[in-house]
Amino acid sequence: MTSPIRTERHDDVLVIISNNPPVNALGAAVRQGLEAAVKDGIADDSVTAMVIRCDGRTFFAGADITEFGKEMVEPGLPTVVDMIEASSKPVVAAIHGTALGGGCEVTLGCHYRVAVPSAKIGTPEVKLGLLPGAGGTQRIPRIAGVRLALEMTAKGDPISAKKALDAGLIDKIVGEDSLEADAIAFAREIATKRPLPRASEKTAQADPDAVAAFKTENARRFRNFDAPAANIACVEKAADGSSFADGIAFEREQFMALMMGVQSAAQRHIFFAERQAAKIDDVPADTKLREIKRVGVIGAGTMGGGISMNFLSAGIPVTIVEMQQDALDRGTGVVRKNYEATAAKGRMKPEQVEQAMGALKPTLDFADLAECDLIIEAVYETMEVKKDIFTRLDAIAKPGAILASNTSYLNIDEIAACTKRPEDVVGMHFFSPANVMKLLEVVRGDKTADDVLATVMALAKKIKKVAVVAGVTYGFIGNRMLMPRQVEATKLLLEGASPEQIDKVHVAFGMPMGPFQMSDLAGVDIGWHRDPSRIENIRDALAAENRWGQKTKAGFYDYDEKRTPSNSPRVTEIIDDFRAKSGVTPRAISDEEIVVRTLYTMVNEGALILEEGKAQRASDVDVVWIYGYGWPVYRGGPMFWAQSEGLAKVVAGLEKYDFPVAKSLKDAAESGGRLK
């Protein structure tokens, strides 16, 4: 097998080049090749300096994550980084693309670093539940100080070449199109300079105030995660006067503990699950896509406005249609306000706001949609309204235009059937707020054409969404799984639990909110029959009293002006009253029962969805829950979590409470297999 590492001589400079597509991950062959090439450079008297660079779209994007959990093939990355640093001849890293994780650590082992202006440097291991385990936690603070090291390692966002230059992580920014030549010239300049700058020989200044402030600022973000604290502890170790060797030993110990833990396994699962979700099993990857130059959005409400922003932000013009001028003005006003708020936070330039707004064409004329290549309907959630709109769309949309509905429950096939082009119809279920939430459920109808599906999936990536293909089923993947949870939560109330107890179990689990907090946010009246005299369950009883949630300042909780919730004595009365009328004597409900009946039941529904072929794979279900509903990423999504709980335990729990168990779940539990 040929090595992914080759070398080229430029007189006295040895250029070591990696070619390991797609992202130059530092797999075993790359590490072996690097070690051998650097050794050769050191041994060859005619070489005065070395340059390490990568072919393709990026510098090393990190360790090869697919090797994690398998037996380690020598040399390990720390060994390679240390031997580069120990070289008696200078080694220069020439960086383009993203030098991430182990890739960043390779650069820190080098004595010098040059980068093109567009390069980014970072240590995103924390997002995989890990820490930079090849000396990164010890070298970054020694070069760039504790504060930046905390930011880079515990939060994991990459920094620009300019910021890296200011922090000393890069020595020079070179020409965007002349990286190799400039790096060679740089290597010649410093070839004879001694002593060689070695990060491990520097000292880092302790900064307890920065550490304390950083922990406070990020307490919410880091809640329940193991890896941020481990990153912080390592950075502190680098600056507490310990030797470099002791710091490295500590880093290794922490790294291995994280690597063996369930959180990192869950986060690594999601890394690959997210990428897998983009693939459509029975549609070839090279399917010719339709061109989307302009998008139409029907409805300028919260959803329509949010959807439009995704495209505007990606530079795709949008035609937005409403029926009344005031609704149109209100909608476009909200879009502008949102952009201006982003600009006020410094995350957008004022001219970018104008650019985005300039690409938005508000209109009252439905016929204006004729110029659009993709039209997304985001109006009231009733089948009649949707059918009416799609019939009208069919009459005016240009041939080949994709017609999408943002419905969150309804049958796409039924909607498609009222057009003469059902093959062009697809569901695009955005999650609210649509400009923020990353998930997009792409609903594939019976007749949806392959190229329509492929186009929408590719477009999703362009607008920075994580898209998952769902089949036609009531509520698709996410909302369908929400249903048993909601039903069981309401039953538990009747049997003796309180909304607070149930919500507390969910928040402790890591969800952003529990089922009743979610009801209050979404509206207790959603799906209500709107007849105050008909009280069939506790939700009806609340709705009948105008307790519709946050919007009426009362729901399962009471709310003050700032929407701060408090427990409601009235809700307790309503529940007591309903129990009495139903002849139910309340009993103590354990937290364990809540977990089984509101979380295991979701897993069960997920298994049914998979059995019915409404999701392509179990990991897609996980992606839906992570990106659409805030399922804690360190638990890897419901299906991964069930696996780590033990499927037999899940099945036993469901059976204990007489819940009908999905066949695939039972089979997998019995055979010791996985949910697929």
User: Is 35 labeled as catalytic in the residue annotation?
Assistant: no
Question: SS3 for 65-131, per residue?
Answer: HHHCCCCCCCCCHHHHHHHHHHCCCCEEEEECCEEECHHHHHHHHCCEEEECCCCEEECHHHHHCCC
Write the DSSP symbol of residue 549: B
Binding ligand 3HC (rule: CB under 6 A), the pick from 13, 14, 23, 161 is 23
Site string for ligand 3HC, 460-499 (x = CB under 6 A): ----------------------------------------
Which of residues 136 and 317 has its CB atom nearest to ligand 3HC in the complex? 136
Question: Which whole-number Å values give the CA distances from 626 to 617, 623, 641, 660, in the listed order?
Answer: 15, 5, 12, 26
Nearer of residues 402 and 440 to ligand 3HC, judged by Cβ: 440
Looking at 239-382, list the stretches that DSSP marks H as alpha helix, in order from N- to C-terminal side: 244-260, 262-277, 302-313, 325-344, 350-358
Binding-site member from 84, 100, 335, 633 for ligand 3HC (CB under 6 A): 100
Catalytic residue among 105, 151, 500, 593: 105
Which one of 61, 148, 235, 467 is in contact with ligand 3HC (CB under 6 A)? Answer: 61
Q: Which residues pair with 442 in a beta bridge?
A: 428, 469
How far apart (Å, rounded) are the C-alpha atoms in residues 587 and 366? 57
Using the rule CB under 6 A, give the single segment among 55-63, 322-330, 506-514, 594-602 that binds ligand 3HC. 55-63
**Count of Cβ atoms closer than 10 Å to residue 536 Cβ:** 10
Cα distances (Å, whole numbers) of residue 239 to 59, 156, 391: 29, 20, 68
Tokens of 112: 């010098």
CB-CB contact of 252 with 661 (8 Å): no
Among left, alpha and beta (phi > 0; psi -120 to 50; other), residue 145 is left
Binding track over 396-435 against ligand 3HC, x by CB under 6 A: ----------------------------------------
* CB 311 within 8 Å of CB 318: yes
**Which of 15, 121, 125, 593 is close enough to bind ligand 3HC by CB under 6 A?**
125
Question: Please, which residue, 61 or 662, has the CB nearer to ligand 3HC?
Answer: 61
Catalytic residue among 8, 71, 85, 125: 125
CA separation for the pair 305, 312 (Å, rounded): 10
Q: Which of 33, 90, 109, 124 binds ligand 3HC (CB under 6 A)?
A: 124
- 133 near ligand 3HC, rule: CB under 6 A: yes
**66 part of the interface to ligand 3HC, by CB under 6 A:** yes
257-266 b/e with 16+ CB inside 10 Å = b? ebbebbbbbb
Identified binder of ligand 3HC from the candidate list 42, 47, 49, 77, rule CB under 6 A: 77
> For ligand 3HC, which is the closer residue by CB, 160 or 552?
160
Q: Using the rule CB under 6 A, is 284 a contact of ligand 3HC?
A: no
Residue 33 vs 62, nearer CB to ligand 3HC: 62
- Piece of 125-133, 235-243, 595-603, 629-637 that binds ligand 3HC (CB under 6 A): 125-133
Which one of 96-104, 239-247, 314-322, 348-356 is the stretch in contact with ligand 3HC (CB under 6 A)?
Answer: 96-104
Residue (132 or 499) nearer to ligand 3HC, CB: 132
First to last CA, the chain: 34
Sign of the CA dihedral with 348 first, then 354, 355, and 361 last: positive
Q: Which residue has the tokens 């070179």?
A: 174
Q: In what order do the strands lie in the sheet with 5-10?
A: 5-10, 13-18, 49-54, 91-95, 112-115, 172-173
Q: How far is the CB of 105 from ligand 3HC (least distance, A)?
A: 6
Nearer to ligand 3HC, 102 or 304 (CB): 102
Nearer to ligand 3HC, 9 or 279 (CB): 279
DSSP letter at 662 equals P
Task: Tell me the closest approach of the beta carbon of residue 94 to ligand 3HC, in angstroms.
Answer: 17
Of the listed pieces 130-138, 159-167, 534-542, 559-567, which binds ligand 3HC according to CB under 6 A?
Answer: 130-138
Site residues for ligand 3HC, window 219-278 (CB under 6 A)? Answer: 272, 275
Size of the site for ligand 3HC (CB under 6 A): 26
Is there a catalytic annotation at residue 71? Answer: no
Annotated active-site positions, please? 105, 125
Q: Binding residues for ligand 3HC, per CB under 6 A? A: 22-23, 25, 58, 61-66, 77, 98, 100-102, 105, 124-125, 128, 130, 132-134, 136, 272, 275
